[in-house]
A and B are shown apart, each in its own frame.
Chain A
């Protein structure tokens, strides 16, 4: 045999070395240099990162009674990409007890909303215990479907909806913010109230568990023996100043009324009760139909979700008079014995400002003027204060007064520990310059002295001003939370531990004003609030209520206001109650406030006054025009929205239409005048 083929064995040897070498080089790129990024894919695929949600912090009242707790509920979460054609929808729906059509529409809706590549779409929330039990047994049959547990809030005392707020799934827009970087889609977050303000402490820190799963999504054990896992840290509990019993009574009394009732402990600034009328069942804010309930509440004409104690602003009415008095005393323009001869009205500025009392001597000194709530007296001393010669000029006087108001916590949000607080309004000289073209004097604003006109306050500010008077010159920012996880000096509570000094008004000035306020209860306008063994200091108020509807100023029924604190020495509770459209302060607001004081100081209502509780609870004070006003407001809002969303061109067209309507009206009017006055009858 010819041996020329001998060297071919060497070629074959080379082949047996080179080709394996090519494979090794390819492996080098694949395994060592990770070309193609397959390593990450391995982790994404086989390692299942399970987030463990810690229980949200429990909330207690001041007596360590639980008022907010957690229930464990389950959501059905799907990963659409993993759902294959042979997915047994029928079987799943049978276990969920929902029709297949509903499942499909819900699935499509969620996929359209969040996209096909989402990893955790919560299709159904808060599954029933039966469905959960059935699903847990069979979940492995459904690739891409998981049961995710999370805790849902429950109001154990059935009160506090207005300040507790609610939690909901984090929104798409929130997720984009850096502040919520550690949140993921499907996480829950506090939307309003305490849940929102204390979100960071209530939430705790979610833990992470790294689990291994096989191709059928079955969990096969922990990844790297759990060395990467982190424990979930439970949310911290909150202890509130709220007294659950007082809160419940207050809410009951505020039902079927528009208004608010706030009680604060003046010595700490802790809020004892906080109710916004009309009240609603807090359980509406939890559970599966939360969204639906919120929608309903939002559409309600009485606006239950409008948190009136911090968001509604009213003219304070006569409840403002003690403050006017304090400023006048401090400015040195009056003495406590200063009197004013009121004959049933204040005529100094030309137009009459009415006073409900006309009896001689009802304003013979400061104490009497407060007790009988003399309008003339306070208009007068307000003018005296801002016109004080030492300021030289009413502009300076008004600025000085504005400064006082600032220190009383008026004209700006005080800084309560729930979001969306309004600041009310305290006018300054700029405002009057704008309105009166720079040409104004104290007569243009005398009614501010009696709490009418441009002054607007929230009920919280009213209660806080009572705290200032009770404390004789200082206050703590009103707040709900006493301690976080047992720590009453927590970083988040620092702003509330700081004492705020108000001007440098002397104690004696306060004593005189307080004396007058005691007179209000003892013999003045609020005798109804009198209690045998508690010295209550109070002030009634009746705020005029006007609405501009269709360009016309329409007078509506007055708001009933009542502020108080008790006892006079070493005060323990300051209260402000505002009931909309209910007339005099002493009729509705007064009794409610006094019952709150009694409940708090004595822990019960005496049998003698039980009838009053019943009366307050049963009364329904929602005038029919509330509904009309609401629909007008909504129509206006819609119109504003429409105009806002209009393009420039259509705005021009709208203006042209308006003009043409006006021309048509004018021509009709001209024709009418012509017929009426100028043309002769044939």
Chain B
């Protein structure tokens, strides 16, 4: 591109991304407004209403965006490791008494003038760090050591967040594997990943003893098929035996252990309700008083959400005419289940349009990523795409019963200051980096 005429800075900004960003944020504010609007309201400006707060957050986000756009892009390549360290400290602080407990999780930090979720901010820091790490001269992603280090960088915050009892947020950190995949993570990792998920599901759905027999039979069949090679190479025997052993250990010991001791009652409930199964007696938690813990709320949430979405029909009920979403039938309406509002009021075409906007947004980010000269910018762009994609799919998936209810917001649309601002910063750093796409940043 160097032979082209030098573009001005404003011209180099990817305005289509900016427009899609503003569009999604406005959809969010209007949706929140439709949830809270009552015919009896006197004025639009009501400082106690959440849509007003969201509007203020949006203003703040735009201000941050402006600040980011006027900053030097080299700044973002220079801070990652420091930011990662600070982020981890914040995460750990949230676990201390400085943290604020909300609904059983300890993921909030109160700085006196400002309350925020370090886990949200950490997504940004981790993205930058992974981008920085992979673009380091001395890092070769083809080596096992560096792959493991990269995965460690991505999942270390997730472990802390898991300790904070925010499973949903922790799972988001798996979305960094998308960027790693783009940078050459071998396919075998994906195969193993899928196998683990398949084995987990099998463990939950199939009785332990039968699963043991199935795994054993599979191992024997595999050995039989490989019998000729086996004669030449005894290692295969150990390999198959090893896989069999890991599989059996996983299904017989690790999953039950996780369900009994690691996961909490509402997680188990959500996982089983997604599978359409009753929670087995063995996994039902017992309170100290001897009473069984009953959650049973996620099922209600999802069925209410499905009712609201289905009632929208093809054309929807019209803006501010939603009966289900306006009258609080769907719990967590403003935050995790904001998608229902759109789906009820604008029906199938409206909700499809929203998904289309997200899809375009993601494809645009991929396009932007692929035109970067520097690996840092590309990896960072894929990190952003991965986070957005994971949030969008899981959030909408849970409102229509395709994904477990793990409580993560719909990017840019759901109510929430930290969430909106984090996504804004994520996206505008990308736009800032993209404006300098001819430069090689390290």
| Partner-B contacts on A (CB < 8 A) | 1-2, 4-5, 8-9, 12-13, 15-17, 19-20, 22-24, 26-28, 30-32, 34, 36, 38-39, 41-43, 45-47, 212-216, 220-221, 223
The answer to whether B310 and A39 touch across the interface, beta carbons within 8 angstroms, is: yes
Contacts of B312 in A (CB 8 A): 31
Q: Chain B: which residue is nearest A35 at the CB level?
A: B310
CB 8 Å contact bits of B343-384 with A (1 = contact, 0 = none) = 100011001100110110011001001100001000000100
7 nearest A-B residue pairs (beta carbon): A38-B310, A42-B311, A214-B327, A46-B323, A31-B348, A16-B362, A215-B328
- Interchain Cβ contacts under 8 Å between A and B, 30 examples: A5-B184, A9-B366, A9-B370, A12-B382, A13-B366, A16-B359, A16-B389, A17-B363, A19-B393, A20-B358, A20-B392, A22-B402, A23-B400, A26-B402, A27-B309, A30-B310, A32-B348, A38-B310, A38-B311, A39-B310, A39-B311, A39-B313, A41-B307, A42-B307, A42-B310, A42-B324, A45-B329, A46-B327, A216-B328, A220-B38
The answer to whether B327 and A1 touch across the interface, beta carbons within 8 angstroms, is: no
A46 touches which of B324, B359, B397, B400 (Cβ 8 Å)? B324
Interface residues on chain B, number (Cβ under 8 Å): 48
The answer to whether A38 and B370 touch across the interface, beta carbons within 8 angstroms, is: no
CB 8 Å contact bits of B285-328 with A (1 = contact, 0 = none) = 00000000000000000010011111111100000000110111
Q: When A8-B182, A42-B323 are in contact, do A1 and B375 touch as well, CB less than 8 Å?
A: yes
Q: When A16-B366, A20-B358 are in contact, do A223 and B323 touch as well, CB less than 8 Å?
A: yes
How far, in whole Å, are A5 and B180 apart by their CA atoms in the complex? 11
Considering only residues 393-414 of chain B, those with a C-beta below 8 Å from chain A are 393, 396-397, 400, 402
Closest CB in chain B relative to A445 CB, distance in Å: 77
The answer to whether A212 and B323 touch across the interface, beta carbons within 8 angstroms, is: yes
> Is B257 interfacial (CB-CB < 8 Å)?
no
The answer to whether A46 and B314 touch across the interface, beta carbons within 8 angstroms, is: no
How far, in whole Å, are A215 and B308 apart by their CA atoms in the complex? 13
> Is B39 interfacial (CB-CB < 8 Å)?
yes
Closest CB in chain B relative to A601 CB, distance in Å: 66
The answer to whether A45 and B324 touch across the interface, beta carbons within 8 angstroms, is: yes
Closest CB in chain B relative to A46 CB, distance in Å: 4
Q: When A214-B328, A220-B327 are in contact, do A12 and B366 touch as well, CB less than 8 Å?
A: yes
How far, in whole Å, are A30 and B305 apart by their CA atoms in the complex? 11
How far, in whole Å, are A647 and B389 apart by their CA atoms in the complex? 75
User: Which of the listed residues A2, A16, A28, A213 has the most CB atoms from chain B within 10 Å of its own CB?
Assistant: A16
CB 8 Å contact bits of B226-239 with A (1 = contact, 0 = none) = 00000000000000
> Is B153 interfacial (CB-CB < 8 Å)?
no
> Is B181 interfacial (CB-CB < 8 Å)?
yes
| Partner-A contacts on B (CB < 8 A) | 38-39, 142, 178, 181-184, 303, 306-314, 323-324, 326-329, 343, 347-348, 351-352, 355-356, 358-359, 362-363, 366, 369-370, 375, 382, 385, 389, 392-393, 396-397, 400, 402
How far, in whole Å, are A39 and B312 apart by their CA atoms in the complex? 8
The answer to whether B363 and A5 touch across the interface, beta carbons within 8 angstroms, is: no
B400 touches which of A8, A26, A45 (Cβ 8 Å)? A26
B327 touches which of A4, A26, A31, A212 (Cβ 8 Å)? A212
Q: When A23-B396, A23-B400, A213-B327 are in contact, do A17 and B369 touch as well, CB less than 8 Å?
A: no
How far, in whole Å, are A17 and B393 apart by their CA atoms in the complex? 11
Q: When A16-B366, A31-B313, A32-B314 are in contact, do A38 and B306 touch as well, CB less than 8 Å?
A: yes
B307 touches which of A2, A28, A38 (Cβ 8 Å)? A38
Contacts of A30 in B (CB 8 A): 306, 309-310, 400
How far, in whole Å, are A298 and B358 apart by their CA atoms in the complex? 75
The answer to whether A27 and B400 touch across the interface, beta carbons within 8 angstroms, is: yes
The answer to whether A31 and B328 touch across the interface, beta carbons within 8 angstroms, is: no
Contacts of B306 in A (CB 8 A): 30, 36, 38
Contacts of A216 in B (CB 8 A): 328
User: Which of the listed residues B183, B184, B309, B311 has the most CB atoms from chain A within 10 Å of its own CB?
Assistant: B311
Contacts of B359 in A (CB 8 A): 16-17, 20
How far, in whole Å, are A213 and B323 apart by their CA atoms in the complex? 8
The answer to whether B348 and A20 touch across the interface, beta carbons within 8 angstroms, is: no
The answer to whether A20 and B356 touch across the interface, beta carbons within 8 angstroms, is: yes
The answer to whether A2 and B184 touch across the interface, beta carbons within 8 angstroms, is: yes
Q: Chain A: which residue is nearest B135 at the CB level?
A: A1
How far, in whole Å, are A23 and B352 apart by their CA atoms in the complex? 9
The answer to whether A31 and B39 touch across the interface, beta carbons within 8 angstroms, is: no
Contacts of B184 in A (CB 8 A): 2, 4-5, 8
Contacts of A20 in B (CB 8 A): 355-356, 358-359, 392-393
Q: With contacts A5-B183, A27-B309, A32-B314 known, what are 19 further pairs, Cβ within 8 A?
A: A5-B184, A12-B181, A12-B182, A12-B385, A15-B389, A16-B389, A19-B393, A26-B400, A27-B400, A30-B309, A30-B310, A32-B348, A42-B307, A45-B324, A214-B327, A214-B329, A215-B327, A220-B326, A220-B327
Contacts of A5 in B (CB 8 A): 182-184
The answer to whether A9 and B369 touch across the interface, beta carbons within 8 angstroms, is: yes
